[in-house]
Amino acid sequence: MAEATVSAGYVKSLMDFARSRGAEQSGLTAASGIEPEHLANPDTRIPFARFKALMRAAGELCGDPAFPLHFGAGSLFVEMSIVGLICHAAETMAEAFGQMNRYARLVVEVDGHETGDRFALEPDREGVWIVDRRRNPNDFPELTESTFARFIGDVYRYFGDIPFAKLVHVTHPAPAHRAEYDRVLKVPVVFDSDRNAMLIDPSWLSVRTHKPNRYVFGIFSEHAETLLKSLQNSKTIRGQVESMLIPMLHTGEVSMEQVARRMGLSRTSLYRRMKADGIGFDTLLDDLRHQMALHYLNGEKVSVNQTAYLVGFSDPSAFSRAFKRWTGSSPGQFKHDPNGKNGHLPADE
């Protein structure tokens, strides 16, 4: 399986929350290898291992063993992902749940996504269970904590005291901060269970959202489909190499050896796999810098010099020469006319 990833929007939400609770940026970056500039585009993918390291470092730096619970309850899903926006534009909670499940991997990929949806609805005599089907959950129980805290927190935040959660089951043993589960989740919790699941009142599924908007829903869904296709394509060797390179671009010092090491491969093995797909490392790196430069300049929030740095050029003039080779225009001209002829990739001309 290709390395799992997390959306930069989700990671940024985690980093911002940790900083708001006293964690220093330098400590978070040192522990995870994630720089703030890696999170400029919420749709960028961040390796799951770095997200995991960030979550654990945040708890330590904040002096809060229950940090994942507090993060889940205190952060807004709608602000961290296109998936949250889709859910808020849906007509009912049942539709919102279905869309969340469809696009869940755009937020965070988990072990088990290769064979089906992450969440399942399982009715019984007591109500309906929302079952988290990710495999090996006890390798990272913090994700279980934050997931259930966000489910419950978002419902109470937007709908008050409507009937929702009744009971939570988790597969991990009771931690030292067990009392925080009662305070944050506000329902009984069973530890050492055979599944991670939340029993809910079935009436919740028919609750209408406050502001359903089919037009907005359609726009967001179309964008999510594009992102989902891109994520699926990223499981190719080209996509895997690009996902390794993006967080490294700004250093200006990237090599096949570094990428191979991060992928757990030898340089020779990576070379052979890329060659089998007809991909050259230097060409891929140049193409990626081209694509990311267009992305940053199109965003209108990053200057030309900042863009040069983010894609790995310490000398702005060298970046300008490369950009003119890519597009036929200077970065400044492109920034002023992103929709003109010079705003298209060569393949579009």
Q: How far is CA 229 from CA 44, 162, 263, in A?
A: 14, 36, 22
In sequence order, the β-bridge partners of residue 210 are: none
C-alpha Rg value of the chain to the nearest Å = 22
Domains of the chain: which residue ranges?
Answer: 5-206, 236-348
pLDDT score recorded for residue 115 = 62
Architecture of domain 236-348: Orthogonal Bundle (1.10)
Cβ atoms of residues 167 and 190 within 8 Å: yes
Q: How far apart are the first and last CA of the chain?
A: 36
DSSP letter, residue 207: P
Pairing status of strand 127-132 against strand 165-169: unpaired
pLDDT score recorded for residue 345 = 33
For 46, the token pair is 């961040």
DSSP letter, residue 92: B
Sheet of 165-169: strand order equals 119-124, 127-132, 196-200, 165-169, 189-190
| pTM for the predicted model, two decimal places | 0.67
pLDDT score recorded for residue 264 = 82
29-46 burial: b if 16+ Cβ within 10 Å, else e: bebbbbeeebbbbbbbbb
| Residue in this structure with the two tokens 């960028």, named with its chain if needed | 44
**C-beta neighbour count of 185 within 10 angstroms:** 22
Per-residue confidence of the chain (349 residues) as pLDDT tens digits? 467 899 999 999 999 999 999 999 999 999 999 999 999 989 989 999 999 999 999 999 999 999 999 999 999 998 898 899 898 888 999 999 999 999 999 999 998 766 678 999 999 999 999 999 999 999 999 999 999 999 999 999 888 889 999 999 999 999 999 999 999 999 999 999 999 999 999 999 999 987 777 777 888 888 888 888 778 766 678 888 887 888 889 888 899 999 998 888 899 999 999 999 899 999 999 999 998 898 888 876 778 999 999 999 999 999 999 999 999 989 988 876 655 444 333 333 3
Angle at 10 between CA 130 and CA 38, to 5 degrees: 155
120-135 burial: b if 16+ Cβ within 10 Å, else e: ebeeeeebbbbebbbe
DSSP letter, residue 168: E
Reading phi first (left if > 0) and then psi (alpha if -120 to 50, else beta), residue 300 is in: left
**C-beta neighbour count of 100 within 10 angstroms:** 23
Architecture of domain 5-206: Alpha-Beta Complex (3.90)
